[in-house]
Amino acid sequence: MFTVLRHIESLKNLEQLQFSGQLLWTNPAGQHWSFYLSQGFIICATGGVHPVRRWRRNLATYCPRMPNHRIGWQFHLANCDPATLTFGWEYALLSLWVAQQDITSEQAAKMIRASIVEVLFDAAQAVDVTEQIRQDSSFSTQLSLIQIAAAIGEAQLLWQSWEMANLAAYSPNQAPMIKQPEQLRKHSSVESYQNLVELLNGQKTLRELAIKMQRNIVEVASSLLPFVQLGWVEFLSVADQPAPIYRGDSVKAPLPSTPSQEATTLQWVTTSPPASTPEVTTSQGALVACVDDSALVLKMMEQLLTSVGYQFLGVDDGLRAIGILLARKPDFIFLDLVMPNTNGYEICEQLRKLSCFRNTPIVILTGNDGYANRLRSSFVGASEFLSKPLDAGAVLSVIRKHLEQGVTRLSVTTDR
């Protein structure tokens, strides 16, 4: 069934024609899948409902040492070759990282191949796909090219496994969520039920669960199918995560009706501050500290915060953090949760024992946004909990929120 789909057959024909240019597939729901080709080989593919989730999953699998959050990507996109942005921000980042020897060509090839296979799989589930073709003989790349027939063959094997497991009516981009917890509790052990509650929260897609559980995606989806058929669990459609935003010189125009390509110069996403008042303006110029063992995170936070008028203090050693913070006494503190030899909880708890930091806003940063982490953050006296990947707008919003509240309380006390 897979290889006889008209749009899959069309892609195979472009391989025989040694085509160079862009192939765009669109379905009536407005989903787009783009392929960039050179001499009948695929340079890369992008699009679909979850391009950012796909990128994050593959990055964690094939390039675990690279930043897996939007601020990190935006920071690197500022240094990308504008020509590589023709093929999308994902490809531009891979090209930059290979050029800088941050990743190998083999890692980049695995990322590209995995994305192509996933795009082919998802497009195979679409109906009434229309296509547009734009020839461009100038398309070239320094990275590995992927054979169309090989990618189609790999996607076809996955699709056949999916169909044989009676999953054709469902998408691996859907997220399972418990619908009838009491029924599930009765038929599960206490430990199994607790694991299901944590995993089946409607936030993680089947593809994401498979990676988290280190199991084959067909196996994961098949194990949940009986619960879905009983009505105890449901598969939900979930939104993609935010893509990096970058602006500047325009890149080559896409085919008609495709989403516009974004550009090249990094620009932080910031919201305009409220109308100027004494309470708000006094927070500008405040010293904001960030304790994180990642030099990249510190660099990005510095660029963001100084660009809007804050002073910045970066600390990359958790063991030295308290001494440095005592010496500088910042007005606001971000603490990374996971660091070598210590963690954000321990530092926060020690800071709260010091009178000079008793009322200082302290925000814990972590990629594990679970109830237990939030609860523990509250116990150690954290002011708030901010999830990674960090969003520039959220970072600025939480600073303004706490600093402006602090100024307001101080003003009230003074008036008394």
Q: Is residue 294 part of a domain?
A: yes
30 plus 124 within the same structural domain: yes
Residue span of the structural domain in which 215 resides: 175-236
Q: Is residue 283 part of a domain?
A: yes
Q: Is residue 155 part of a domain?
A: yes
282 plus 366 within the same structural domain: yes
In sequence order, what E strands does 40-128 have?
Answer: 41-47
117 plus 220 within the same structural domain: no
Q: Is residue 322 part of a domain?
A: yes
279 plus 411 within the same structural domain: yes
205 plus 68 within the same structural domain: no
Sign of CA dihedral 399, 401, 402, 408: positive
Count the helices and strands in the chain (H runs, E runs): 16, 16
156 plus 27 within the same structural domain: yes
Phi, psi of 105 (to 5 degrees): -60, -35
Q: Which residues pair with 178 in a beta bridge?
A: 233
Tokens 């009491």 locate to 182
Distance CA(2)–CA(152), nearest Å, equals 9
222 burial type by CB count under 10 A (0-12 exposed, 13-18 middle, 19+ buried): middle
Q: Is residue 257 part of a domain?
A: no
193 plus 339 within the same structural domain: no
Q: Is residue 182 part of a domain?
A: yes
pLDDT value for 246:
61
Neighbours of 99 (CB within 10 A): 15
13 plus 155 within the same structural domain: yes
Distance CA(413)–CA(278), nearest Å, equals 15
User: Helix, strand, coil shares of the chain as percentages rounded to 5?
Assistant: 45, 15, 35
β-strand 384-387 against 362-366: which pairing, if any? parallel
- Tens-place pLDDT, residues 245-301: 764 333 444 454 333 333 323 333 333 333 333 333 345 689 999 999 888 888 888
Which two three-digit tokens encode residue 13? Answer: 């024909």
Tokens 């110069």 locate to 265
Q: What is the pLDDT along the chain (416 residues), one digit of tens a residue?
A: 565 578 888 899 999 999 999 999 998 888 999 999 999 999 999 999 999 999 999 999 999 988 888 878 888 888 888 889 999 999 999 999 999 999 999 999 999 999 999 999 999 888 788 999 999 988 988 899 999 999 999 999 999 999 999 999 999 999 999 999 988 888 878 888 888 888 898 999 999 999 998 999 999 999 999 999 999 999 999 999 888 876 433 344 445 433 333 332 333 333 333 333 333 334 568 999 999 988 888 888 888 888 888 999 999 998 999 999 999 999 999 999 888 888 888 899 889 989 999 999 999 888 665 444 455 545 578 888 888 777 788 898 899 999 876 543 333 333 33
229 plus 288 within the same structural domain: no
Q: Is residue 288 part of a domain?
A: yes
Neighbours of 353 (CB within 10 A): 9
70 plus 94 within the same structural domain: yes
How many domains are contained in the chain?
3
In sequence order, what E strands does 31-114 have?
Answer: 32-38, 41-47
Q: Is residue 258 part of a domain?
A: no
Sign of CA dihedral 53, 59, 64, 68: negative
30, 18 Cβ separation under 8 angstroms: no
Tokens 């085509």 locate to 19
- Tens-place pLDDT, residues 369-386: 544 445 554 557 888 888
292 plus 404 within the same structural domain: yes
21, 136 Cβ separation under 8 angstroms: yes
The domain boundary residue, chosen from 164, 186, 202: 164
Q: Which residues pair with 201 in a beta bridge?
A: 177
183, 230 Cβ separation under 8 angstroms: yes
The domain boundary residue, chosen from 217, 236, 255: 236
What three-state secondary structure class fits 351?
Answer: helix
Distance CA(122)–CA(367), nearest Å, equals 27
The domain boundary residue, chosen from 215, 236, 257: 236
66 plus 14 within the same structural domain: yes
